[in-house]
């Protein structure tokens, strides 16, 4: 029998962090029209609220020469994932594009992925290893899906996870809180806020 009420921790420990710029990567997960634009087929309303926080963190990272990496949902027309979510973010369409407010610079890396996990079937780990990255700051949407799967894969590969809680968006509060719980408890990630992240 399922409980009628599920209790979450009363408060999560939010900490300031100072990260070495050359050993840190900022990953921006799936901030694409499909999820962040009102006309996207899988629009996540709360994703609009995090744009400014992600943008400020991105500017801070760029100014300190932190590695900036985007993940981009990039599906074929017959993708099996469409049986779960319906068609979205098809390769080379408007939906698959990263939103204008967070467009990558020419020298920043964009990882195109077929599945939730940014590491699955991609060269993301190779890039991080070549750059000798130790800490990964993860932002984006959807919190309990692509953000969490990417964070989990990173942690299980030995990277240390930093999650700014004002830089991730979910479809509902339960999913959002679940993400914080899993990242902090299961993957021993550090929960912080965008204005508490310092790159040195």
Rg (CA), the chain: 16
Please state, in angstroms and rounded to a whole number, the distance separating the CA atoms of residues 156 and 145: 16
- Using pLDDT thresholds of 50, 70 and 90, give the confidence band for residue 122: very high
Closest residue by Cα to residue 70 from 62, 79, 78: 62
Given a cut of 70, whether residue 197 has pLDDT beyond it is yes
Given a cut of 90, whether residue 1 has pLDDT beyond it is no
Provide the token pair at 162: 């930093």
CB 162, CB 130: distance < 8 Å = no
Question: How large a percentage of the chain has pLDDT more than 70?
Answer: 98
Query: Which of helix, strand or coil describes residue 138?
Result: strand
Given a cut of 80, whether residue 37 has pLDDT beyond it is yes
pLDDT the model gives residue 167: 98
Tell me how far apart the terminal alpha carbons of the chain are, to the nearest angstrom: 50
CB 73, CB 146: distance < 8 Å = yes
Q: Where are the alpha helices (DSSP H) in 72-121?
A: 82-85
Please state, in angstroms and rounded to a whole number, the distance separating the CA atoms of residues 136 and 190: 10
Domain 17-199 is of which CATH architecture? 3-Layer(aba) Sandwich (3.40)
pLDDT the model gives residue 149: 98
Mean pLDDT of the chain: 95
The residues near 196 (Cβ < 8 Å, ≥ 6 apart) are 14, 15, 16, 17, 164
- Using pLDDT thresholds of 50, 70 and 90, give the confidence band for residue 4: confident
In which element (H, E) is residue 135 found? strand 135-141
Given a cut of 70, whether residue 20 has pLDDT beyond it is yes
Query: Lowest-pLDDT range, 75-84, 145-154, 157-166?
Result: 75-84
pTM of the shown model: 0.94
CB 89, CB 32: distance < 8 Å = yes
Distances (CA, A) of 26 to 120, 137, 146, 169: 18, 5, 15, 16
**CB neighbourhood size of 53 (10 A):** 18
- Listed by start position, the domains of the chain span 17-199
In eight-state DSSP terms, residue 189 is: P
CB 145, CB 47: distance < 8 Å = no
Mean pLDDT of 3-24: 88
Given a cut of 70, whether residue 107 has pLDDT beyond it is yes
Mean pLDDT of 67-81: 95
Mean pLDDT of 167-189: 96
């Amino acid at each position: 029998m399922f409980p009628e009420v599920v209790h979450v921790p009363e408060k999560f420990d939010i900490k300031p962090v100072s990260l070495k710029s050359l050993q840190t990567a900022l990953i921006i997960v799936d901030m694409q029209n499909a999820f962040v634009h009102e006309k996207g087929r899988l629009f996540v309303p709360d994703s609009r609220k995090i744009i400014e926080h992600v943008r400020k963190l991105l500017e801070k990272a760029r100014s300190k020469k932190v590695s900036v990496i985007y993940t981009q949902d990039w599906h074929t027309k017959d993708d099996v994932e469409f049986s779960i979510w319906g068609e979205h973010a098809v390769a080379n369409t408007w939906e698959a594009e990263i939103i204008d407010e967070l467009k990558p610079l020419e020298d920043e890396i964009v990882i195109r992925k077929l599945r939730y996990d940014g590491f699955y079937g991609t060269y993301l780990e190779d890039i991080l290893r070549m750059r000798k990255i130790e800490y990964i700051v993860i932002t984006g949407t959807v919190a309990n899906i692509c953000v969490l799967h990417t964070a989990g894969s990173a942690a299980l590969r030995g990277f240390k996870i930093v999650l700014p809680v004002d830089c991730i968006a979910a479809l509902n509060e339960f999913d959002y809180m679940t993400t914080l719980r899993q990242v902090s408890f299961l993957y021993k990630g550090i929960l912080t806020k965008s204005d508490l992240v310092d790159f040195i």
